[in-house]
Amino acid sequence: MADKRKQVCLKGTGLTKVFGIGRQQTVAVDHVDFEFYEGEIISIVGESGSGKTTLAKMLLGLIGTTEGDIYFQGKKRDISSQKKKKEYWKNIQAIFQDPFSSYNIFNKIDSVLLDCIHMRGGKKLPYAKKLELMTEACGFVNLKFEELTNKYPFELSGGQMQRLMIARIFLLKPKILLADEPTSMIDACSRATILDMLMQLRDEIDMTLIFITHDIGLAYFVSDSVYIMERGIFVERGSADEVILHPKEAYTQRLINDVPKIYEEWDLSTV
Amino acid sequence: MSNVMLEVKDLTTKYITRFGEDIYAVDHVSLKVEDGKSLGIAGESGCGKSTLALSLMGYYFPPLHYTGGEITIDGRNITGMNPDDVRKSVLGTEIAYIPQSAMNALNPTRKIIHFIEDVFEAHNPLATKKEIYDIAKGFFETVGLPAEVLQKYPVELSGGMKQRTVIAISVILSPTVLIADEPSSALDVTSQKMVIKMLRSLMNNGYVKSMIFITHELPLLYNVTDDIMVMYAGQIVEKASAKEAVFDPLHPYSRGLMGSIIVPEEGLRDVRLTAIPGVPPNLKNPPAGCRFAERCLYVRPLCTTHPVRLREIAGGRTYRCILSEEELREAYKNG
Amino acid sequence: MKHFIRQAFRSPNFVAGFVIFAVILLTVFIYPLIITDPPLEIIGQGTFFEPGIYVNVYDSIGSPHHTLKLSDAAAKRIASRLGDDERLAIKEWLVAAGIPEAEVDTENTERLIDQWVNTYDPAVKIPGMTNARRNYYIRLETSLRGLLSTEGVSIAAKNAETAALEEKSTVTQSDYVNVREVPNVRLLLLGTDNFGRDVLTELIAATGVSLQIGFVAGIIATLIGLILGLVSGYVGGLVDDVIMFVTNLFTVIPSFVLLILISFSIGQDKRGAVTIAVVIGFTSWVWTARAVRSQVVSLRNRDHVNLSKLSGHSIAHIILNDILPYIASYVVMALILQISSGILAEAGLSILGLGPRTTEVPTLGLMMNWAMIYQAQILGFWWAYFPVIVTIALIAFSMNLMNTGLDQVFNPALRE
């Protein structure tokens, strides 16, 4: 549950993104409002085409907003220059859906991790210290740095790559982590590992975790607050128990109904 | 005793890579599906479940090669038939196959009815267009698809509708076995549910005598099939009824797989997910002993050196482990 | 990089293309080291000498003579001197003198001469023959007698003081010189061109210059295309619109027409090989730019680029490290095609007389142009233009082979 005494970490008002011009306009995100509290785990659930990934990219500052404002720690976000963007990205980081396309295949694993150390201002550290940091980060996600050094990311399995992503976050220690379907491209067995590590990491560096997912089961399992998104708007929001066990909106009900169950009877007559 | 629709004995198939290495993706798999029954195959990607689907059809093309075993469909042995004969006399009438991307296989320039005419032309050339249309219309209505779909082009249908249409076209000749390989994975949850509903009604109405359903999503499998078979590294590691497989798995791997299920149901927020460390072995040179040994939490010294056979226990369950049922349960109790 | 090169050399197409190209390139580099004559030096007084070995006559008189008794020497000598016209004239006379036409064979030199020597009589009057024609036959008879004579030839020189001719030496019909002992022998493997220049030397120099033009043009075109494509694709928005507008303008104006106009307006005096190369480069970047842009647009939204942004890298760093390596293979292929089309464009321009100015360097196009102006193709002087065509074709062919080879390596869809 969101602790009301805690501060609002990320806030959006009237956030809108319109793609295209004239007749071909599509509204991907349509005037959404939200407050994410510090230390909270939030899930934004939606089917493909609901605009959840567009929203995520706006939050990350990877694409501009058409309308509306984003407030970070109470202040209006300012990412008008490369320098300010870099400052913002020290606070908000992401893990993407497809680990296989998240890495530059020409860069070695070392350079991925060194980038993070440099971003945290560790450019001038002696190499031994950097090595220690990298080994620590890899150790956190149960990878051995000695085995990874001088290797390329594509030599790892999907699960290992996603863990390396988490090691990256471990080094960066951002205030907010945005995980865009972090487990949908990897095997079920690795999924538990990834989720475990994300939770541990959150406890370790006390960050706000935002999951973007289509999997309502995952949202229920991990999050404090759930936002259900349909065609660019939040149709329902609230605590995970409220939204998923007692959904008010028809769309949410349908979404939950349509997911296969194992303990309850899965009612097939509703479609 | 009920009729066995599909029986497979010790089926082994391999891929030959560009570098001439053999990869045994299906390794001595035996299974049996009875009339009116469905079998689910679960496993992680790369465990050989999709290769098994291709192998079951007896439809081998390089780099996939048949190396041994027997496939019997409704009493007819189809092992060793050449691909052309398989295509003519087995596919469509005996076996229908629906892959994940089936909906993309429809030629966008032709109407749905034309695909059905093709099916009849190949297997029942005497039917007239009017007869075919009537049969198709009746069939579509019974499986819950509107008859207008017949006169539409594939692009006019949504993804879920297209997938259901493809399924309807594939089973219009009432095949003995329907093999569905992740038929709903590319769809949104609502369309997925419609596909599942349709498959269930096909089974219940007897349009399809038996079904093999392949997916990595266990909750889905649990809701669709009677039995579940878990595959790991090309081998069967456990076979049990759906309920037993999900709620009382015996093999440590199945247990790990079931322990990663997340469903939005009350009280399931606090379950602890079980994770299996490590990665599956490379099938180019599989381990000598149990293939799961190096990831297993309950590994014994013998596991790594001795190949493990499938054990059969009461109730028709089988699992591949050197530990007995009691030993396993004891081990699980102690965590 | 190493990996890519190794992969490329596994493709038979690439290897074949590479070998042809390497042979051409090596010839261009090594030939001038051995034959140091300037390629545009005029050595022949006259046009279009046939390919062959040219032996200095003066030197061969001074060279040691060896006597070889070869039985067919005389027949060969006469046969080579007796032209087609003479043979027909002899036949005409013989037939008129009453020898059945079927018995006269102009190909069989020995018999023809026999028949002539036995039948010819200057006193015989053939009806209807003009005086001039009769005199022609008398002259023919004299020269034939000369050929048939077995005596040698005297070499005489004028004495500077007395102004009288003094015999220096005699050359008999059985005298031979060893070509190796003659100090001045010139092998003209491809003869000479209209200006009397050695075609082979010229051709190799021209190939070198054409390759340079191709490289300069190709590199300029690829660089412009690459930079515009990268900027337009990655930055997007207004920048993209402006660049694409310009690119589209260039697309609709046929670049060859543009090339002709620019080349024409520069003027003959200022058109050096480099100028032409630059002009070609500046008119042929359009397709590279479009292709690079579309590749970049699809890369721009990839997660690894997003990740790089989130790691705080600058736009330049992202373009150089996260975009460029992914399209490098593509750019290399575009470069190869640009080089080969640059060479072809130069040839095209030069044929039209709009190539580099003619006095400094030969290019493949200029050689074609010269051959065409002097009607080599009509007069049958094949050596002046055919080798040039073959060279151009070989260069383009080898580069296209390399390109398809690379395509097979980089484009998995084309692999087996």
Q: List the domain boundaries for chain C.
A: 2-45+193-414, 78-148
**Residue whose C-alpha is closest to residue B152's, from B111, B118, B117:** B111
Structure confidence at residue B1 as a pLDDT band (50, 70, 90): very low
Q: Is C215 left (phi over 0), alpha (psi -120 to 50) or beta?
A: alpha
- Give contacts of B144 with chain A, Cβ < 8 Å: none
A contact test, residue of C3, C241, C310 with most A CBs within 10 A:
C310
- Which residue on chain A is closest to C327 by alpha carbon? A106
Q: What is the DSSP letter of B155?
A: G
In a domain, B39, yes or no: yes
Residue B126 phi, psi dihedral angles, 5° rounding: -80, -20
Give C120-135 pLDDT, tens digit per residue: 887 777 777 888 888 8
Distance, in Å, from the CA atom of A232 to the CA atom of C351, rounded to the nearest integer, reads 63
Partners of A226 on chain B (C-beta within 8 Å) are: none
**Confidence at residue C1, expressed as pLDDT on a 0 to 100 scale:** 66
Whether omega for the bond prior to residue B277 falls within 30 degrees of 0, making it cis, is: no
pLDDT band at C356 (very low <50, low <70, confident <90, very high): confident
A96 interface with C at CB cutoff 8 Å: yes
Subunit contact A103:C322, Cβ cutoff 8 A: no
Beta bridge partners of C206: none
- A60, A106, A116 member nearest C325 (Cβ): A106
Chain B CB contacts of A199 below 8 Å: none
Structure tokens that stand for A204 in this block = 């370790």
Closest to B193 (Cβ–Cβ): which among A142, A217, A268? A268
Per-residue pLDDT at A2: 46
Percent of chain C predicted with pLDDT > 70? 98
Q: At what angle do helices B189-204 and A250-257 cross, to 10 degrees?
A: 50
Chain A nearest-CA distance from B256, in A, is 7
Chain A and chain C share a number of CB contacts under 8 A equal to 51
Sort out which chain C residues have CB atoms less than 8 A from A96's CB and list them. Answer: 303, 306-307
Q: pLDDT tens digit string along C224-240?
A: 999 999 999 998 889 99
Task: Tell whether A142 lies on the interface with B, counting CB pairs under 8 A.
Answer: yes
Kindly report the nearest CA distance between residue A254 and chain B, in angstroms.
8
> Which residues on chain B are in Cβ contact (under 8 Å) with A183?
none
Which of A96, A104, A115 would best serve as a mutation to test chain C binding (most C beta carbons within 10 A)? A104
Please tell me the predicted confidence (pLDDT) of residue C200. 92
pTM for the complete prediction?
A: 0.78
Q: Of C73-77, C86-90, C317-321, where does mean pLDDT reach its minimum?
A: C73-77
Answer with the residue of higher pLDDT: A21 or C386. Answer: C386
Residues of B in contact with A261 (CB under 8 A): 219, 223, 263, 265
CA angle, B256 then B262 then B265, to 5°? 135
pLDDT digits (tens, 9 = 90+) for B71-97: 998 888 888 788 888 888 888 788 999
Chain B partners (3+ C-beta pairs within 8 A): A
Residues of C in Cβ contact (< 8 Å) with A93 = 310
B229 touches chain A (CB under 8 A): no
* Residue B35 within a domain: yes
| Whether B275 and A258 lie within 8 Å, measured CB to CB | no
In 3D space, the residue among A46, A118, A41 whose CA is nearest the CA of residue A86 turns out to be A118
Chain A interface disruption, residue of C234, C299, C304, most A CBs within 10 A: C304
pLDDT (0 to 100) of residue A1:
46
* Closest CA–CA distance from residue A64 to any residue of chain C (Å): 12
Query: CA angle, corner C26, sides to C25 and C30, nearest 5?
Result: 125
Q: Does A261 touch chain B (CB under 8 A)?
A: yes
Can you tell me which residue has the tokens 């809108």?
Answer: A16
Residue C314: closest C-alpha in chain A: A82
Question: How much is the average pLDDT of C251-260?
Answer: 83
Q: Chain A partners of C321 at a C-beta cutoff of 8 Å? A: 104, 106-107
Q: Please tell me which residue of chain C has the smallest CA distance to A84.
A: C312
Does the pLDDT of residue C412 top 70, yes or no? no
Asked if the model's pLDDT at residue C376 lies above 80, the reply is: yes
d(C-alpha B63, C-alpha B58), whole Å? 14
Query: Domain of B258?
Result: 4-109+153-333
Count of beta carbons in the 10 Å neighbourhood of residue B148: 11
Calculate Rg over the CA atoms of chain C. Answer: 33
DSSP state of B147: G
**Considering chain B, what is the average pLDDT of its residues?**
88
Closest approach of chain C CAs to the CA of A60, in angstroms? 8
Per DSSP bridges, beta strands C66-67 and C153-158 are unpaired
Residue A26, strand partner residues = A19
The residue extents of the domains of chain A are: 8-270
Look up the CATH number of the domain holding residue B213.
3.40.50.300
Residue B207 to chain A, least CA–CA distance (Å): 19
Band (C155; pLDDT cuts 50, 70, 90)? confident
More confident residue, C258 or B40: B40
Q: Which H, E and C letters describe B86-130, residue by residue?
A: HHHHCECCCEEEECCCHHHHCCCCCCHHHHHHHHHHHHCCCCCHH
Q: Which residue has the tokens 């793609």?
A: A19
What does the DSSP 8-state code read for residue B273?
A: P
Residue C340 confidence (pLDDT): 92
Mapped to the 3 state alphabet, what secondary structure does A134-145 carry? Answer: HHHHHHHCCCCH
Q: Indicate whether B46 belongs to any domain.
A: yes
Helix (H) or strand (E) holding A219: helix A216-222
What is the CATH number that goes with domain A8-270?
A: 3.40.50.300
Provide φ and ψ at C395, rounded to 5°: -65, -50
The rounded distance, in Å, linking the Cα atoms of C325 and B283 is 33
**Given a cut of 80, is residue C184 above it in pLDDT?**
yes
Residue C358: pLDDT band with limits 50, 70, 90: low
Q: Give the model's pLDDT for residue B334.
A: 82
Residue numbers in A near B277 (CB within 8 A): 142, 193
A60: chain C residues, CB-CB within 8 Å: 306, 310
pLDDT at C414: 55
Q: Which residues of C touch A120 (CB under 8 A)?
A: none
What distance, in Å, lies between the first and last C-alpha atoms of chain B? Answer: 41
The nearest CA of chain B is from the CA of A54 a distance in Å of 18
Classify domain C2-45+193-414 by CATH architecture. Answer: Orthogonal Bundle (1.10)
Rounded distance between C-alpha atoms, residue C233 and residue C225, angstroms: 11
Span of A16-30, C21-35, C140-154 with lowest mean pLDDT: C140-154
Q: Which one has a higher pLDDT value, C7 or A168? A: A168
Low-confidence ranges of chain A (pLDDT < 50): 1-2
- Report ipTM (2 d.p.): 0.89
> pLDDT digits over A97-151, tens only?
888 889 988 888 999 999 999 988 888 889 999 999 999 999 998 888 888 888 8
pLDDT mean across residues, chain C: 87
Whether residues C307 and A86 touch (CB distance < 8 A) is answered with no
Binary contact (C312, A101; C-beta < 8 A): no
Per-residue pLDDT, B2: 61
* Chain C residue closest in CA terms to A97: C303
